[in-house]
Amino acid sequence: MAMRPDTDELLLAIRRADESEAQAAALIHALQQTLIPPTPPRVPGLDVAAVYRPAIGEVGGDFYDVFEVAEGDWCVALGDVSGKGTDAAIVTSTARHVVRSNALRHPQPSDLLRVLNAALVEHPTDRFCTVVIVRLRYVDGAWIASMSSGGHPFPVLTRHGSATNLGRPGSLLGLFDDVEFHDVSIKLARGDSLVLYTDGMVEGRNHQDEFYGEARLLGALIQPAASAEDLANQAVADVMTFQTSHARDDIALVVIRNA
């Protein structure tokens, strides 16, 4: 099986690029593939799906990751780095690496966000990021989802035809040493879905320059869907239909369903 190109090599190639527009676009696409999983891994007992739609032209700052920490213990991270281009991609790459390498030692999402913030502040750039982390644990026959948001849109719980934001406000990451994050935990009942998304989902505009907005998104998320993948695709399609042109910002969405 062929390995993906090294992320650092791709970043360097794009920075130095004097290539044609087509070659530069190919490098950008290759870099995005190293930062965004093509599909989430299979999580036994859960139905997990994700959609990523990059804005046209540059490496975006949205990212997500789903990985197993231990048996019956999974971590989901979704974030948005300010700006675009290789500088944003560097922060994205750092964030994914820090989350993966520290998840085992820091089981609480709020603690993991503090570690990530410290790493970003230690190597300052003109970029900041927002991140939401969800820890999924199978305990006594039930899935428990613990989550914490660092300046990011709250996760949405869909249950029995309604949609509810979960979480408490937290600090942006990469700006200050003194930050505050909070954990919220819920039991995922059968049929519940937990949806994580980046702000590109709600900031699309139509011909009247109206934002798609959170209310429309919540409405889209309570529509019937046969699977997590169907729900993710339906929600993103609704946003894209509302917009009048190509997405101005990246769009990333992860659906976790207790099927």
Q: Which of 3-7, 34-38, 139-143 has the lowest mean pLDDT?
A: 3-7
Contact (Cβ atoms closer than 8 angstroms) between residue 235 and residue 217: yes
Contact (Cβ atoms closer than 8 angstroms) between residue 138 and residue 69: no
Residues with Cβ within 8 Å of 174's Cβ and at least 6 positions away in sequence, in order, are 91, 117, 120, 121, 124, 125, 127, 128, 129
Residue-wise pLDDT tens digits, 58-114: 667 899 999 999 999 999 999 999 987 777 878 888 999 999 999 999 999 999 999
The whole-number pLDDT of residue 250 equals 87
Residue-wise pLDDT tens digits, 208-229: 989 999 999 999 999 999 999 9
What single-letter DSSP state applies at residue 40? P
Q: Which of 59-68, 160-169, 177-186, 230-239 has the lowest mean pLDDT?
A: 59-68
Of residues 189 and 126, more confidence is placed in 189
Identify the structural domains of the chain with CATH numbers, from first to last. Answer: 40-257 (3.60.40.10)
What single-letter DSSP state applies at residue 121? H
Of residues 11 and 170, more confidence is placed in 170
Q: What is the mean pLDDT of residues 185-189?
A: 98
Backbone angles phi, psi at 40, to 5 degrees: -70, 155
Q: What is the mean pLDDT of residues 35-40?
A: 84
The whole-number pLDDT of residue 24 equals 60
Half-sphere exposure (Cβ direction) of 61: Cα atoms closer than 13 Å: 20
Percent of the chain with pLDDT over 70: 85
pLDDT band at 156 (very low <50, low <70, confident <90, very high): very high
The whole-number pLDDT of residue 28 equals 62
Query: Cα separation of 254 and 259, whole Å?
Result: 15
The whole-number pLDDT of residue 2 equals 41
Q: Which of 4-8, 27-31, 213-217, 244-248 has the lowest mean pLDDT?
A: 4-8
Percent of the chain with pLDDT over 90: 68
Q: Which helix (H) or strand (E) holds 114?
A: helix 109-122
Chain centroid offset of residue 13 CA: 26
Contact (Cβ atoms closer than 8 angstroms) between residue 249 and residue 203: yes
